Structure 1
Amino acid sequence: MTHNDVLAAINACVIIPTYNNAKTLSRVIDSVLTHTPHLIVINDGSTDATHNILSRYSTLTRIDLPTNRGKGNALRKGFGEALAQGYDYAITLDSDGQHFPDDIPTFVQEIEKNGMALLIGDRNMNQDGIPGKSSFGNRFSNFWFRFETGIPLSDTQSGFRLYPLGEIRDIRFYTTKFEFEIEVIVKAAWRGIPIRNVPVRVLYDPDERVSHFRPFRDFTRISLLNTWLVLVTLLYIRPRNYFRTFKEKGFKRFFFEDLLHSEDTPLKKSLSVALGVLIGLSPFWGFQTVIVLFLAWVLRLNKLIAFAFSNVSIPPLIPFIVYACLSIGTFVWGQSEAVSSFNWQQFDTYRPYIQQHLAEYVAGSFVLGISAAAVAGILSYLLLNIRSGRNRS
């Protein structure tokens, strides 16, 4: 392999989005060209000397956008061009000089060794010279990425990345600016694409580096995006993943593998069971999945177990649960009216009946939920300890 064919092994190209980085652009391009001729540069409406600089290079692919539309839009244009040229991967890096193109082989070696993935350069944000706002922003991003995907990464904001183009081509994206780099890795993780860090170097030179990140506007957009991604995670992604687990394993296998054989302690498992039963019998219809996953996360309990037992309110049991809640609530409130007029056969009558006796229903729901959760938690704890003792013997 010649020096200029470093990306040939994985059929990759390099994409550089640039906007008013004339000071560093030539140095970045020249350094990239020592590793590969397969270079796509997107001039995102620059108003400085970028146009003249790019005119010196006849071999690279150049896309000139008439106005500045944002980094995310530029990257998406670059991905489209790379796919049209038949590349399987694209390495992206910024044009402000903070990345070292000499680290490009690191991405290639990682793919050759461990297979397809979306790779993000790990800049070691704890080293000297890293701006405090950049380090904080990265920790903020890492936290929400892990919440939304379950994947722990040490750097989620680096623009020095490798994208598997075929795997992300059918994902629908909505953002066009800096927040795109968050949207793309979260949605890729949701698709089951492996996301990994690789070590890279970074240089923050205040005399040369020009940052177009606008703290208030861009941080607000990133926060709004993370809010939306968290809602999708709680309402769709995690329930989808849990249902897939149940479908693949079946209840019996799930019970013995995920409930009995997980590394969590018997106390943690039994508390997770209790939480699931409590929320499943609560009067928060339509929001039980969101509530149980959020509380399991806050309390550091087993989310899968809690979610599984929150489904105690399955359709065949709903009439019995509603009747029990109303009966208990009537007793708690000391009402003389019985629930003898409750219609067991017609589900449509439940809602108006509950509305007429809302206070009784809510009170009964909490009493039943707390009682059932206590019983389920205690029984689970005893059974788990008995099984644990047998395994030790």
Structure 2
Amino acid sequence: MRQLHCCIIIPTYNNAKTLAKVLDGVLEHTSEIIIVNDGATDDTAEILKKYEQLHQVHFLENKGKGKALQVGFQTALEKNYDFAITIDSDGQHFPEDIPVFLDALELEETKNVLYIGARNMAQSDVPGKSSFGNKFSNFWFWFETGIELTDTQCGYRLYPLKEIKKLKLFTPKFEFEIEVIVKAAWAGTLVKNVPVKILYDEAERVSHFRTVPDFTRISILNTWFVLVTIFYIKPRDFFRKFKKKGVKKFLLEDVLGSTDSAIKKSLSIALGVFIGLSPFWGLHTLLVIGLAFLFKLNKPIAFAFSNVSFPPFIPFIVFFSLQIGSWVLGEPFRFTLENMTTDFDFLTNLKSYVIGSLILASGGSLLSGGIGYFVLSFFGKRKMAVNNG
């Protein structure tokens, strides 16, 4: 603990039945403990008088687990700790698993890592709602970060304090434990599971998770994170990856080097071009990622080709869409690229634009998908011939 500058943070609220047992168990491993009493109204304060040697923070009123953890992190940073292991005070975590986190951290190449305890959710004493909630949380965490975990809800964790300090965290209650791991992953922190034991003793354990209000808060948070993921994180990560690789390397690795079939890759190209040329401005990223997921296409390829409508091309796309739409409807179109920016009434020509853009998108999709298929098939056969040779 001292070598790694690590401490234990124990947030507690009305867990008088199990608090002393948890503290005594942790003290067998370390005295580097910070207790945050989140405004408990039971015998917690009296129990903590027996542990005056430990650093304690007392709230006058209950503020929520998220707030308790944030204050615990800040206190740990002030005491010059680099890492903190959080353990719940309801007795479900085993203090003897503390070395599991420390051993994993010692072996990890990067110290910018956040470990989450992975419980055996198939255990007979695990409540059904806990198992469902964990699966629900795991799915959304994967969607928002691309990281697959077996447990995202366990409160037994190791946090890299200096990296957590950089994050802007707002939620005060149970949803904080979702917010912090998603934002940490977005910021580049490695988020991983380590195996821990779990005990659900309903005779002693007191859970303060309120199914309806807390699940609602978590659902609202995930809804917001999904929107941020689709409209900001995914495009940001793609452009970072694209910029780092360059066009040539992206084409070689993500397009030609992908193990997907030529038909799947060409359909991904076609989908990307169709969405990119379609009239659904502001929804392109949402549509292309959503449809790529739905039809199980290559998401990087589809997203890349949806950016056919990047700013320098937009005036030309709109212009040709209007031309095609006007021709199909038999309406005159007298505008040029020059006067479209001055006296063009877009609402009057909206019908022509929508029809024309859908035709342009369909044609561009078929053309690009067809060309993509023949090019990819050619390189696929050539690569196969080289390998056989």
Q: State the TM-score bracket (shorter-chain normalisation).
A: over 0.9
Equivalent position of 1:100 in the other structure: 94
For residues 383 and 281 of structure 1, the distance between their equivalents in structure 2, rounded to whole angstroms, comes to: 22
**Per-residue deviation at 1:279?**
0.5
**Deviates most, 143-152 or 320-329:** 320-329
How do 1:92-241 and structure 2 match up within 5 A?
A: 92-115=86-109, 116=111, 117-241=113-237
- Aligned to 1:15, the other structure's residue is in SS state strand
**Per-residue deviation at 1:286?**
2.2
| TM-score when normalising by structure 2 | 0.96
User: Is residue 2:314 matched to residue 1:322?
Assistant: no
Give per-residue Cα distances to partners, 1:366-391, cap 9 Å, x unaligned: 11111111111121111111111111
Give per-residue Cα distances to partners, 1:64-112, cap 9 Å, x unaligned: 0000000000000000000000001000010000000100000000011
Structure 2, unmatched stretches of 5+, are none
For residues 345 and 263 of structure 1, the distance between their equivalents in structure 2, rounded to whole angstroms, comes to: 45
Structure 1, unmatched stretches of 5+, are 1-6
User: Is residue 2:32 matched to residue 1:38?
Assistant: yes
| Partners of 1:98 and 1:202 within 8 A in 2 | yes
Equivalent position of 1:345 in the other structure: 338
Equivalent position of 2:379 in the other structure: 387
Distance 1:189 1:346, change over 3 A: farther
- Aligned to 1:94, the other structure's residue is in SS state coil
For residues 224 and 315 of structure 1, the distance between their equivalents in structure 2, rounded to whole angstroms, comes to: 33
For residues 343 and 12 of structure 1, the distance between their equivalents in structure 2, rounded to whole angstroms, comes to: 67
Equivalent position of 2:353 in the other structure: 361
**Per-residue deviation at 1:253?**
1.7
Counterpart residue type for residue 68 of structure 2: A
Identical counterparts, % of pairs? 56
Give per-residue Cα distances to partners, 1:141-193, cap 9 Å, x unaligned: 00000000000000000000000001111100010000000000000000010
For residues 281 and 107 of structure 1, the distance between their equivalents in structure 2, rounded to whole angstroms, comes to: 50
How do 1:58-97 and structure 2 match up within 5 A?
A: 58-97=52-91
For residues 92 and 314 of structure 1, the distance between their equivalents in structure 2, rounded to whole angstroms, comes to: 46
**Per-residue deviation at 1:281?**
0.5
Distance 1:347 1:113, change over 3 A: farther
RMSD: 1.3
Equivalent position of 1:4 in the other structure: none
- Aligned to 2:346, the other structure's residue is in SS state helix
| Alignment equivalent of 1:373, drawn from 365, 371, 375 | 365
Counterpart residue type for residue 17 of structure 1: P
**Per-residue deviation at 1:346?**
4.9
Counterpart residue type for residue 19 of structure 1: Y
Equivalent position of 2:50 in the other structure: 56
Distance 1:125 1:349, change over 3 A: farther
| Partners of 1:343 and 1:349 within 8 A in 2 | no
- Aligned to 2:34, the other structure's residue is in SS state strand
User: Is residue 2:14 matched to residue 1:20?
Assistant: yes
Counterpart residue type for residue 31 of structure 2: P
Counterpart residue type for residue 344 of structure 1: L
**Deviates most, 249-258 or 127-136:** 249-258
Equivalent position of 1:3 in the other structure: none
Counterpart residue type for residue 39 of structure 2: G
| Partners of 1:342 and 1:353 within 8 A in 2 | no
| Alignment equivalent of 2:305, drawn from 281, 289, 309 | 309
**Deviates most, 94-103 or 107-116:** 107-116
Give per-residue Cα distances to partners, 1:30-61, cap 9 Å, x unaligned: 00000011000000000111001000012211
How many residues get paired? 383
**Per-residue deviation at 1:317?**
2.6
For residues 286 and 208 of structure 1, the distance between their equivalents in structure 2, rounded to whole angstroms, comes to: 52
User: Is residue 2:277 matched to residue 1:281?
Assistant: yes
Equivalent position of 1:261 in the other structure: 257
For residues 246 and 234 of structure 1, the distance between their equivalents in structure 2, rounded to whole angstroms, comes to: 17
For residues 202 and 108 of structure 1, the distance between their equivalents in structure 2, rounded to whole angstroms, comes to: 18
Give per-residue Cα distances to partners, 1:269-315, cap 9 Å, x unaligned: 11111111001100112221222122222222222211111111233
For residues 293 and 248 of structure 1, the distance between their equivalents in structure 2, rounded to whole angstroms, comes to: 21
